[in-house]
Amino acid sequence: MLVEGFMLRVKNLTKKFGRKYANENVNLALDPGEIGVLLGPNGAGKSTTMKCILGLLSFDGEVTVGGKPVRSVEAKKILGYVPETPALYPMLTVREHFEFITRAYHLNSEKAREYAKELIERFRLTEVLDYYCKDLSKGMQQKVSIICALLPHPKLLLLDEPMMGLDPHAIKELRVMISELAEEGVAILISTHLISTVEGIWNKAYIMRKGQILSSHKKEEMVGIWAESLERIFFAETESYDSVWQTPSPAKTPAKHTNTVSRPNTSKKKKATNKKKKK
C-alpha cells in the first residue's frame, strides 16, 4: 500500500559536496500514472537530484518509492532508470544485454523476449542485435539503455536527458511510449533542459535553480498560454524575463526567487487583452 498514494516521495532532500550545496531541501512527489518533468539550466542540480533519488549518492532527507525506502530491495525492484550517458557493458552484444536484464530481474523468459522484440522493432534495433555495444553510436546505445530500463516493467521510471543523441523517429517513439506507460499507471520523472521534447506530455513541472525547487506547476491547473507553453513557465521562473511570478523589484535590482510562488491570474490578463482588441 502506497504512503499517501505517492509512487515517488522526496522530502527535504539535501546533498552537499564539501561545503557546497548541490541540492537543498528538495521536495517533490509523483502519483502513479503521473509524468513529472524536472527543469533547470545547466548546474541547477537536476542530475544530482536524480542520483539521490536512485540511492546512488548519500544524502540527507527522505526518498520513498512505492512507500518503501529507496535503498530497499522492494523499491529497486519497481524502479527503472535511464542515465544521461548510457552505462552498458562494452563487450556484450545488444541481445546479450536484454538477456542479462531478464536473468537479473528473474523475469519470465518468454514474456521478456516478446516485450524485448516489440521494443526492438519500435526503436529499429533489429539489424544491430549481435553488435557489441562498444561499436554502437551514442544514439544506438541510448536506445539499448532505454529498453533495458523498460524490460522489467518498472512502476517508477526515471529518465535523465533521455532524448540526447536520439534520432527524430526515436524521440517521437519515446514520447509515445512515455504516454502509454503513464496510462498503464507508471509514474515517470524526466530530467531535461530540452523543453521542447516534453511539451504536450507532462502533468507536473518542477523548476530548479541553484539546487532548489523554485516552484511546481500542475498542467491541469494552468490557464491559457501558461498551460500551452512549458517553455514560457520555465523562462518566467529562471530569468527576469516576462515573469508574472516574481515579486516586483526596484530598478537595477536583480529579482529574487523564493520557494513560495504565487500563480498568475491568467484569466484576468486574458480579459484585459480582449478589451484592448475591442478598442
When pLDDT is cut at 50, 70 and 90, the band that residue 255 belongs to is: very low
The enclosing H or E element of 103 equals helix 94-104
Whether residues 46 and 162 share a domain: the answer is yes
Q: In whole angstroms, give the CA distance from residue 279 to residue 276.
A: 5
Domain count, the chain: 2
> What whole-number distance in Å separates Cα of residue 56 and Cα of residue 20?
19
Examine the pLDDT at 253 and tell me if it is beyond 70. Answer: no
**Same domain? 129 vs 118:** yes
Both 19 and 53 in a single domain? Answer: yes
Q: How far is C-alpha 164 from the geometric centre of its chain's CA atoms?
A: 13
Residues 202 and 225 placed together within one structural domain of the fold: yes
Quote the cell numbers at residue 1.
500500500
What does the pLDDT read at residue 224?
A: 62
**Owning domain of residue 146:** 92-152
Most confident by average pLDDT, 199-208, 221-230, 240-249, 267-276: 199-208
Query: Residue 58 half-sphere exposure, CB side, CA atoms within 13 Å?
Result: 3
Please check whether residues 112 and 205 belong to one and the same domain: no
Q: What confidence tens digit (pLDDT) does each residue in 169-184 have?
A: 999 999 999 999 999 9
In a domain, 83, yes or no: no
- When pLDDT is averaged across residues 236-249 and rounded to a whole number, the result is 50
For residues 123 and 161, state if they share a domain: no
Same domain, 179 and 261: yes
Of 152, 180, 204, the residue that ends a domain is 152
Q: What are the tens digits of pLDDT across the range 87-111? A: 899 999 999 999 999 999 999 999 9
Residues 6-24: tens digit of each pLDDT: 999 999 999 999 888 999 9
Rounded CA-CA distance 134/87 in Å is: 11
Picking from 224, 215, 217, the residue whose alpha carbon sits closest to that of residue 203 is: 217
Taking only the tens place, the pLDDT of each residue in 39-74 is 888 888 898 999 999 989 999 999 999 999 999 999
CB 130 within 8 A of CB 94: yes
Q: What is the pLDDT of residues 186-238, one digit of tens each?
A: 999 999 888 888 888 888 999 988 899 988 888 877 766 555 577 777 777 77
- Give the residue carrying C-alpha cell 520555465: 234
Give the pLDDT confidence score for residue 261 in this predicted structure: 40
Residue 245 sits in the same domain as residue 161: yes
Q: Is residue 270 assigned to a domain?
A: yes
Q: Confirm if 44 and 208 have CB atoms less than 8 A apart.
A: yes
More reliable by pLDDT, 253 or 167? 167
